[in-house]
Structure 1
Amino acid sequence: MPPKKKAAVSAPSTMKELKDTLWKAADKLRGSMDASQYKDVILGLVFLKYVSDAFDERREQIREELVADGMDDEQIADLIDDQDEYVGSGVFYVPETARWTYLSQNAKGTQEVGGVAGKTIGQIVDDAMRSLMTANASVLSGTLPILYNNVSVDQRRLGELIDLLGDTRFTGHGAKKARDVLGEVYEYFLEKFARAEGKRGGEFYTPAGVVRVLVEVLEPYNGRVYDPCCGSGGMFVQTEKFIEHHGGNPTQVAVYGQELNQRTWQMARMNLAIHGVTGDLADRWEDTFAQDKHPDLLADYVMANPPFNIKDWSRREDDKRW
């Protein structure tokens, strides 16, 4: 009797199925990793998948435009990697070894060839993060996690997660764009990680319902929006959603934020990039009480969920804010 064939695994067809599938896959990585590092590993991969998808989409658009202009394959090859063509359309330029196709092809790592040492998938992902930050230094410098080759990261499971992310369809979910789908996934992961970390989760995440109420009360249709303890940037993302829902123009709002924790500041910058929100979160993380990174800002709206549980804080007597 011939062996039974395994049933094909169907791709997630709804947003809920997509989120649940990705969360279960990501959960495989938990192992001996502490919660904060686990969070950084997963969110970094989601961000890398987003920028790679957006790059591929823009690359295909450029190719179609060049073909329409009557150019041959050689001319197209000379022009299709013009970085300005991507950045000018609000898309990060992704070097070849940082593209998801390259990561997927090498999800099990590379072997030594011709005297060139092989690499684990963790090394390949770390290199991808570095090259992506270098290619987009003005926006991403110091933002992305470099920790995928740490001993606490299971390399086999990391490769499996990359395979799953590559196989999952991030388009085709109703009328949603790939950016919106990935943005929703990122927010979902933030919420799940915050719940997993309990009280500490409040340091980087404010429940969506609370953020929504704050934004709807203030109605920031235009002007400058400031969050002095911005966490992972939820206030800014919700502001954009509010404006779009009411038929406004999100470009009429400028967002400014500051965050004390380095990892949370990095998460916020990735979160804004995924949602297509341009914001000024300063050049680095810093304590708002001790060092105001936006001293000349005259904000039209200030919204925040301050860290009320922090007892050890100080102020500078020469700070005009006091």
Structure 2
Amino acid sequence: MHNLEQQFLKELDDKLWQAADKLRANLDAANYKHVVLGLIFLKYVSDAFEARQAELLERFKDANDDIYYLPPEDFDSDAEYREELGEELEVLDYYREDNVFWVPKTARWSTLKEKAVLPVGTVLWQDAAGRDVKLRSVSWLIDNALDEIEKHNDGLKGILNRISHFQLENDKLLGLINTFSDTSFTRPVFDGQTLNLQSKDILGHVYEYFLGQFALAEGKQGGQYYTPKSIVTLIVEMLEPYAGRVYDPAMGSGGFFVSSDKFIENHAGKQHYDAAEQKKHISVYGQESNPTTWRLAAMNMAIRGIDFDFGRAPADTFLNDKHPDLRADFVMANPPFNMKDWWNESLADDARWKYGTPPKGNANFAWMQHMLYHLAPAGSMALLLANGSMSSATGGEGAIRKRLVEEDLVECMVALPGQLFTNTQIPACIWFLTRDKSGGLSPNKVKKRARRSEVLFIDARNVGYMKDRVLRDFSAEDIATITDTFHAWQKGESDAQGAAYVDIPGFCKSATLDEIKKHDFVLTPGRYVGAPEQEDDGEPFADKMAWLTGQLKEQFAESERLEAEIKRNLGELGHALD
């Protein structure tokens, strides 16, 4: 992205977040995110609608447009012509044919901004029965807009959170509306230049930024719906979901789907395909048990125009699988680590436990087997889990892990550094599994080599940088290093820098199933990659050892001298006090 665009988005993030953060005096983070994200959604759909409206108006007046042109000479007067243009601009089909949400007049941002400043009790408009509709509060006005949008767009029914029950003061909401209004989301200008950013790009960016900020504000609870962007990007870059069915059984706010969408856009030029056309070949499926998080995900998809199937309602993935017949080409998930309260006796003989019944007190291998159950014959999956999943033998986990290795399902293990998550300090890893290591073309038409009885181990615990005193992150270069290593090994080709795969002590190792068996099927990368090679300074070992021994003796002598000096000073201090 151009530096000027990055600066614009950074300043926009700061400005909007400062406005939204003022609500924290009235609401906790878990609630005020719904107010703010609801307004962001309203702003987006209204901007998209008005942009389409402006485009239609130009086409109605363009004599070269054989489909939409309305000749002025066909009308008796300018007034009649303008009236006809106005009526045509309100034809719903014009918007649906371009995949733009229909926004009724009473729900448009311009109406919201105009009516929100009026005194409570003011007549706003008349309903279908001719009755006066009066302003009750600004939150009611916002909820009314959400009601109208849901009513006219089947894909949005039941997914928009209402805000009236939060009982926010009118002036607080009015401040947010004014701040959100004070930005051009269609053709933004920054530093005197018009930027090449569309409403969808800007609002999608702001939405993602806000989700991250809310996760930080909420602490542990926030992590239930938000996976750090860099980890999501890493997984998507490694799996390369160009086409096919993508599934996340613990989807949170839908970060993996958004990243898949961006992946297709970002790689269009490199792979010589049309991004818009390619997106028609991918479909997303998800499930989430938390009702508010389920709605967040649906809104997240709607903002970006991603078609989705999240089931008709939120539900427990284990007890009420919303996609029982789905066999996905790509499965990605970041479920709650070491989840304890998941078991139900109805799951005892479940068909999903093909490799062993998971322990009742830990859902890690339940998530893994659920995902494998939904994986297509040539599919690939990635699962974020706590590090304990790589070595634990309690509750039958060791036996399940052994079966997975022996069945040759494990493709790659990545150990992650600590402090990547906002909600937990538990060290984590990524499991990459696949049903097919035979080589050939994958569902996304990527050529892979035969990799039977091989597993790649990547130890990325020392990769990344501290973005602040608390959180660690990956740079684009860090992600590329891990991804290129995986692809060079997986495809048997050179990576982006032209280097073929080689084992790197301390970082990566391609191990055989026999080697894994010798380690009792423990999959911790550190056991396989070994220690990094030390740089040879040319000094003979014997000479170096003699020098180090001499240095150690000198330090011991200095330590004894300092200890004697301290005792002498303490003795003199004691005499002085007497």
C-alpha displacement of 1:110: 4.2
**Structure 1 position 139, deviation (Å):** 0.7
Q: What aligned pairs does 1:21-32 form with structure 2 within 5 A after superposition?
A: 21-32=15-26
The answer for the alignment partner of 2:352 in structure 1 is 321
1:131 aligns with 2:148: yes
SS at the partner of 1:283?
Answer: coil
Q: Identify the structure with bigger relative contact order (alpha carbons < 8 Å, sequence gap 6+).
A: 1
Matched, 1:120 2:137: yes
Q: How far does residue 206 in structure 1 lie from its aligned partner after superposition?
A: 0.1
2:174 counterpart SS class: helix
Q: What is the CA-CA distance between 1:109 and the residue it aligns to?
A: 4.2
Contact 1:41 1:148 in 2 (8 A): no
> Is the 8 Å Cα contact of residues 229 and 304 (structure 1) preserved in structure 2?
yes
Query: Does structure 2 conserve the Cα–Cα contact (< 8 Å) formed by 1:109 and 1:119?
Result: no
Structure 1 residue 176, shift from structure 2 partner: 1.6
What is the aligned counterpart of 2:173 among 158, 167, 172?
A: 158
Matched residue count: 309
Q: What are the superposed Cα offsets for residues 273-310 of structure 1, whole Å, 9 maximum, x if unpaired?
A: 11121111111111101111011111001000111143
Residue by residue over 1:235-258, the C-alpha shift from the partner in whole angstroms, topping out at 9 and shown as x without a partner, is 001001111111142221111101
- Alpha-carbon distance in structure 1 between the residues aligned to 2:134 and 2:335: 49
CA contact (8 A) 1:179 1:275 kept: yes
Distance in structure 2 (CA, Å) of the matches to 1:109 and 1:13: 36
1:94 is paired with a residue whose SS is coil
Q: What TM-score do you get using the length of structure 2 for normalisation?
A: 0.52
User: What are the Cα deviations for residues 129-149 of structure 1, in whole angstroms up to 9, with x where unaligned?
Assistant: 11111111x211111111135
2:158 matched residue in structure 1 = 142
Q: What TM-score do the two structures reach when normalised by structure 1?
A: 0.91
SS of the residue 1:30 aligns to: helix
> For residue 87 of structure 2, what is the aligned residue in structure 1?
78
- Which aligned pairs between 1:200-211 and structure 2 lie closer than 5 A? 200-211=221-232
Cα contact 1:109–1:120 (8 A) shared by 2: no
Match of 1:97 in 2: 106
Following the alignment from structure 2 to structure 1, what is the Cα–Cα distance between the partners of residues 165 and 320? 34
Q: 1:67 to 1:154 in 2, by over 3 A?
A: same
Aligned to 2:161, the other structure's residue is in SS state coil
Partner of 1:58: 52
Pairwise CA distance, 1:15:
0.8
In 1: Cα distance, 2:119 partner to 2:179 partner: 19
How far apart in 2 are the matches of 1:122 and 1:87?
Answer: 28
Alignment of 1:178-257 (within 5 A): 178-247=199-268, 248=273, 249-257=278-286
Code of the aligned partner of 2:52: R
Higher Cα radius of gyration: 2
Q: Which moved more, 1:192-201 or 1:58-67?
A: 58-67
Contact 2:135/2:141, CA 8 A, preserved across alignment: no
Cα displacement (A) at 1:164: 1.1
CA distance in 2, matches of 1:103, 1:128: 8
Q: Secondary structure at the match of 1:300?
A: strand
The 10-residue stretch of structure 1 (86-95 or 142-151) with the greater mean CA deviation from structure 2: 142-151
Distance 1:304 1:135, change over 3 A: same
**Residues 82 and 28 from structure 1, CA distance in 2 versus in 1: closer, same or farther, beyond 3 angstroms?**
same
Structure 2 CA distance for aligned equivalents of residues 294 and 221 of structure 1: 21
* CA pair 154-309 structure 1, distance change in 2 beyond 3 A: farther
Q: Give, in whole Å, the separation in 2 of the partners of 1:265 and 1:155.
A: 28
Match of 1:42 in 2: 36
Is the CA contact 1:29–1:154 (under 8 Å) kept in the aligned structure 2?
Answer: no
Range moving further from structure 2, 104-113 or 216-225: 104-113
From the two aligned structures, give the one with the greater strand fraction.
Answer: 2
Determine the C-alpha separation between the residues in 2 that align with 1:109 and 1:181: 30
Shift of 1:107: 2.2
| Residue in structure 2 matched with residue 259 of structure 1 by the alignment | 288
Partner of 2:313, secondary structure, is: coil
1:66-101 deviation line (CA, Å, top 9, x unaligned): 222125222222321111111111110001111000
The verdict on how the C-alpha distance between 1:287 and 1:39 changes in structure 2, with shifts beyond 3 A counting, is same
Matched residue SS, 1:224: strand
Find the aligned partners of 1:188 and 1:52 in 2 and give their Cα distance.
Answer: 20
Letter in 1 for 2:176: L
- Counterpart CA distance in 1 for 2:82 and 2:246 is 47
Give secondary structure in 2 for the equivalent of 1:146.
Answer: coil
Residue segments in structure 1 that go unaligned for 5+ positions in a row:
1-11
- After superposition, the C-alpha distances for 1:163-197 in whole angstroms (9 at most, x for unaligned) are 11111122326322111011000000000000111
Alpha-carbon distance in 2 for matches of 1:308, 1:29: 31
Equivalent residues of 2:159, 2:298 under 8 A apart: yes
Shift in alpha-carbon separation, 1:113–1:274, aligned structure 2, 3 A: closer
Question: For the aligned residues, what is the CA RMSD?
Answer: 1.8
Tell me: CA distance 1:195–1:116, structure 2 relative to 1, closer, same or farther (3 Å).
Answer: closer
Q: Distance in 2 between matches of 1:177 and 1:66?
A: 23
- Which whole-Å CA distance do the structure 2 matches of 1:224 and 1:214 have between them? 16
C-alpha change, 1:96 and 1:318, in structure 2 (3 Å) is farther
Check whether the contact 1:224–1:300 (CA below 8 A) recurs between aligned residues: yes
The aligned runs of 1:281-320 (5 Å cut-off) are 281-315=310-344, 316-317=347-348, 319-320=350-351
Mark the CA change 1:304 to 1:178 in structure 2 (over 3 Å): closer, same or farther: same
How far did 1:16 drift?
0.6
